[in-house]
Amino acid sequence: MIMIKHLKCDVTTVTAGTVLHGVNCSGRAMNSGVAKAIRNKWPEVYEDFIKCGSGKQMLGAFSPVKINDDLTVGNCYTQEFYGRDGKRYASLFAIETSLRKAFELADFYEDNISMPKIGCGLGGLDWDTEVKPIVERLSTLFDVNVYVYEI
């Protein structure tokens, strides 16, 4: 039976499976939010972010980085820009597109997915009404367990 479980802890404590997080497409350097914590913990994920480039054409992309035999961390290009002004920056289409690719990969490798409430911090979306239904649908479609982390 597929499950979505909410945990009150730091997603960078995960040691196995697939960790996902949202990044913007503006080329800004993963300097805030969960992206900053991931950049600090796994610098190779930031290096991949820089290598992939920037621009609107990246919306919906998913770029997995193999950390070790047990752990993959994926950049999900969920928004063109970001902000702290209460505006909506994340794109539901980009979230669903990038997550679909990530869930398909996790299903193939029989991994669990660990993620923050993607698109809901600096992206400005609502978890319960907008993003969670996408995650629930994809977890069932691809037979993947999901752990949602928040500090």
Tokens found for residue 8: 């009150």
pTM of the predicted protein model = 0.93
- Enumerate the domain spans of the chain: 4-149
Domain 4-149 -> CATH class: alpha beta
Question: Where is pLDDT greater, at 83 or 6?
Answer: 6
Write the pLDDT tens digit of every residue in 35-65: 899 999 999 999 999 898 888 889 999 999 9
Query: What pLDDT is stored for residue 93 in this prediction?
Result: 97
